[in-house]
Amino acid sequence: MISLDKHPSGRHFLQIPGPSPVPDRILRAISLPTIDHRGPEFGALGRQVIAGMQRVFRTRHPVVIYPSSGTGAWEAALVNTMSPGDALLMVETGHFATLWQKMATKLGLEPEFLALPGTDAATGLPNAWRHGVDAGLIEQRLARDAQHRIQAVCVVHNETSTGVTSDVAAVRRAIDAAHHPALLMVDTISGLASADYRHDEWGVDVSVSGSQKGLMLPPGIAFNALSPKALARTKTAKLPRAYWGWDEIVEMNAGGYWPYTPNTNLLYGLSEALDMLFGQGLDAVFARHRRWSAGVRAAVAAWGLPTQCADAALHSPVLTGVITPPGVDADALRKLIHERFDLSLGTGLGKVKGRMFRIGHLGDSNELTLLGTLAGVEMGLTLAGVPIAGSGVQAAMAFFAEAPDLA
């Protein structure tokens, strides 16, 4: 039988920003026997998880669940609402924003890729990858689009590649201030269920998410939360679509069913995850992630290393990007840490490859696990000969000992 026995002893420290560590309860739930996806027991399950996801997205409108990765849910957002050649306004905040933009191009759309200009003097990294979405730039750009060619504004809520969480409500205000009819589409794949998110209140038309981050499931299911305006677009949107088509799914979801075979066992896990999240309360879950994030940043500051996120108000509760000193290959450091301490960290992606690593602090975790993680990083820095200003572990211990309830 599969043993996954490459770990010398004990639990692997999975500290990447997703897939996140999956709680034991959820792992047991997904191992229950598969049932008939057309039977009454499944229908009840289907209705329950859809209602639960509406609560997580804070929406009264339909949520569509796909058997796919989060990337599939990006595609679904576009093909249900767009026609070939449609213009989009997308915002470069990092690697995942870039991938979504490339996808739009592949699908025959015309995305304009808005970015903060310039390079950060201190680190040499692009400014766009250290800051959040600039709503002012969006407003200016939309104001210039007098013919309303731009069909949608697409932003990433929590940039998994950088650790910056953008202000989505501000983007909605910018669109409204420009009196522009563009849809607002938001990727909250790594934000949902770890960071506060309000689909309806923030006026989002399509929210995109996935299972393997704040929902603490293995990868394999993904989500679109819709607005009535987005749903209405399916009538005119001309991109070909079948698998991703909302209409048929939403119609069958009324009974708790899907047009094709849904991912039964991961939906067991989703049911379990929703029980856990609502049992604890989403606000408590968000506060927990904020506290973890602040503790990890205390460590990074003590080491004397810059965080990728350059804006104090936008630090992600989900992950922290750490920039390595010039000349230090962040991936070599990660490899050393993985081999010596069985600790997985996130790599630098795209334009920051080799210049940073990412510490995930999400999912089924706690303060001691994070302190073990920080100890692994600190030992790795030492072994790699990277000079550090002080002990990050000490700083994080001081933080966690004093501030258990960072609301």
CB atoms within 10 A of CB 77: 30
Task: Provide the minimum distance between the beta carbon of 304 and a copy of itself in the complex, in angstroms, as a whole number.
Answer: 17
> With respect to a copy of itself, which residue has the nearer C-beta, 228 or 240?
240
Residues 117-176 that bind a copy of itself (CB under 8 A): none
**381 vs 337: CA distance, rounded Å:** 9
Task: Provide the minimum distance between the beta carbon of 300 and a copy of itself in the complex, in angstroms, as a whole number.
Answer: 16
Among 210, 214, 306, 317, binds a copy of itself (CB under 8 A): 210
Task: Provide the minimum distance between the beta carbon of 191 and a copy of itself in the complex, in angstroms, as a whole number.
Answer: 16
Residues 371-400 that bind a copy of itself (CB under 8 A): 371-373, 375-376, 378-379, 382-383, 391, 393-394, 397, 400
Q: Using alpha carbons, select from 287, 346, 338 the residue that is nearest to residue 317.
A: 287
Residue 327, judged by CB atoms within 10 A of its CB (0-12, 13-18, 19+), counts as exposed
Among 117, 118, 385, 404, binds a copy of itself (CB under 8 A): 404
Residues 216-235 that bind a copy of itself (CB under 8 A): 218-221
For residue 356, the cross-strand partners are 323
Binding mask of the shown chain, residues 261 to 300, with x at each position contacting a copy of itself by CB under 8 A: xxxxxx-x--xx--xx--xx-------x------------
Task: Provide the minimum distance between the beta carbon of 217 and a copy of itself in the complex, in angstroms, as a whole number.
Answer: 8
Kindly indicate which of the ranges 117-125, 165-173, 257-265, 309-317 contains the residues binding a copy of itself, using the contact rule CB under 8 A. Answer: 257-265
Kindly indicate which of the ranges 6-14, 115-123, 198-206, 249-257 contains the residues binding a copy of itself, using the contact rule CB under 8 A. Answer: 6-14
> With respect to a copy of itself, which residue has the nearer C-beta, 32 or 254?
32
Q: Does residue number 41 form part of the binding site for a copy of itself (CB under 8 A)?
A: yes
Kindly indicate which of the ranges 18-26, 124-132, 162-170, 303-311 contains the residues binding a copy of itself, using the contact rule CB under 8 A. Answer: 18-26
Residues 50-69 that bind a copy of itself (CB under 8 A): 66-69
Q: Are 181 and 148 in contact (CB under 8 A)?
A: yes
Residues 21-40 that bind a copy of itself (CB under 8 A): 21-22, 24-25, 27-40
What is the token pair recorded at 264?
A: 């039964």
Greatest alpha-carbon span in the chain: 62
Residues 306-365 that bind a copy of itself (CB under 8 A): 338, 340-344, 347, 364-365
